[in-house]
Amino acid sequence: MYKNTVEFIQNIYNTKDFLPLHEPRFIGNEKKYVNEAIDSTFVSSVGKYVTQFEEMMAEFVGTKYAVATSNGTSALHIGLKLVGVDKECEVITQPLTFIATANAIAYCNAQPIFVDVDKDTLGLSPSKLEDFLKENSSINQNNECINKKTGKVIKACVPMHTFGHPCKIDKIVEICQRYHIEVVEDSAESLGSYYKGKHTGTFGKVGIFSFNGNKIITTGGGGMIVTDDEALAKRAKYITTTAKVPHPYEYIHDEVGYNYRLTNLAAAMGVAQMESLVLFIEKQRELASKYQEFFKDKDIEFIKEPQDAKSNYWLNAVILKDREQRDDFLKDTNDNGVMTRSIWRLMNKLEMFKDAQTGDLSNAVWLEDRVVNISSSII
């Protein structure tokens, strides 16, 4: 039924073998740098590659600081702590996201609130955010945004740039500023994506990236916190390295810290992957334009980069007519060795988050029934 699509994808990758959704590519200095890290004996969380990787990331995205972490989830957990999220707080995010976004909020013992996405970006909707806050919050004398229903402080907002497509982040930041809400950008999927010429992850107070094996570049597992705030960057490094007070020979820790540092081994791979990043983005955009051309005259809609945005097209996605067609498409492609996956189940439908407060989620519900990810390995 979707034979044309299967054949088209097999042709792109020039194979009839099983095609994974997103394979990593190692075409540069990965082995060389990893070997150097081994030879240096600095394989753990101290070593020149960690610093170098952080510097390369800060320069690439255009922030003053970058702090490497063990993965994207830990980066997000710390990002939320940096802006003061704790058990008394609530955090707004989108229901259509990878579980890590909601989990990081739960790690802070804070409550998530799910606000709808836009259909054109798949990311948090500024208009739905504004509607939600207008109806459900007020500002107290301490300039805190209070949830009228629970009496708790809505401390932070975590928009996510879905599949590398930037959401309307400038508007989101503007609304959050008015409501005294801190923005922590989950840009795990959007390294190399820009909104109005500015890199995603640099609009909010803190941004985070992931270098998991399926992301546009990988360190095996890894993450990064980016910010322009020197005090936050220092604190990020401090609490991700067990909150150790500097001392020449004694172990002193003055709060409960975390062992969330990236290893030098992983960072060595990260430095090599950074050297390929510009090429990877180019290739992903080339692949996306092939898909766009192919789906142009079909009744499957290819998801294109939103207005004012330049997307890294990390994970390509299509919209099927309805749930039934979506299921047919998923079955047909997977049965024929072309791996495709449905978009995530909405966070508010999962057991752990089923009691969370939500706004009107009509767009997310609509997309959940129809969006499928298609082969996106770098060509």
Ligand X SMILES: *Cc1c(COP(=O)(O)O)cnc(C)c1O
Specify the DSSP class assigned to residue 76: H
Query: Which of 94, 147, 200, 210 is in the footprint of ligand X by CB under 6 A?
Result: 210
Query: Which of 212, 219, 276, 312 is in the footprint of ligand X by CB under 6 A?
Result: 212
> How many whole angstroms separate alpha carbon 154 and alpha carbon 91?
6
Query: Which of 73, 94, 284, 312 is in the footprint of ligand X by CB under 6 A?
Result: 73
Compute the residue count for the chain.
379
Tell me if 192 sits within 8 A of 209, measured CB to CB: no
Helix (H, G, I), strand (E, B) or coil at 236: helix
Query: Which of 5, 45, 71, 284 is in the footprint of ligand X by CB under 6 A?
Result: 71
Specify the DSSP class assigned to residue 184: E
Positive/negative CA dihedral, 316, 187, 86, 44? positive
Query: Which of 30, 118, 185, 186 is in the footprint of ligand X by CB under 6 A?
Result: 186
Query: Which of 67, 85, 100, 361 is in the footprint of ligand X by CB under 6 A?
Result: 100
- For ligand X, give the closer residue by CB, 12 or 99: 99
- For ligand X, give the closer residue by CB, 194 or 209: 209
Name the nearest CA neighbour of 90 among 364, 363, 353, 365: 353
Total number of residues that touch ligand X (CB under 6 A): 15
- Window contacting ligand X (CB under 6 A); options: 17-25, 44-52, 94-102, 275-283: 94-102
Print the binding letters for residues 135-174 with ligand X: x by CB under 6 A, - otherwise. Answer: -------------------------x--------------
Is residue 189 close enough to count as binding ligand X by CB under 6 A? yes
- Window contacting ligand X (CB under 6 A); options: 42-50, 72-80, 289-297, 364-372: 72-80
Is residue 79 close enough to count as binding ligand X by CB under 6 A? no
> How many whole angstroms separate alpha carbon 186 and alpha carbon 184?
6
What dihedral do alpha carbons 211, 215, 217, 218 form, nearest 10°? 40
Name the nearest CA neighbour of 319 among 165, 185, 127, 130: 165
Is residue 72 close enough to count as binding ligand X by CB under 6 A? yes
Q: Min. distance of Cβ 76 from ligand X in angstroms? A: 6
Q: Min. distance of Cβ 88 from ligand X in angstroms? A: 24
Helix residue ranges, H only, 252-310: 264-295
Is residue 98 close enough to count as binding ligand X by CB under 6 A? yes
Q: Which residue has the tokens 């990810």?
A: 373
> How many whole angstroms separate alpha carbon 18 and alpha carbon 30?
25
Where along the sequence are the contacts to ligand X (CB under 6 A)?
Answer: 71-73, 76, 97-98, 100-101, 160, 186, 188-189, 210, 212, 223
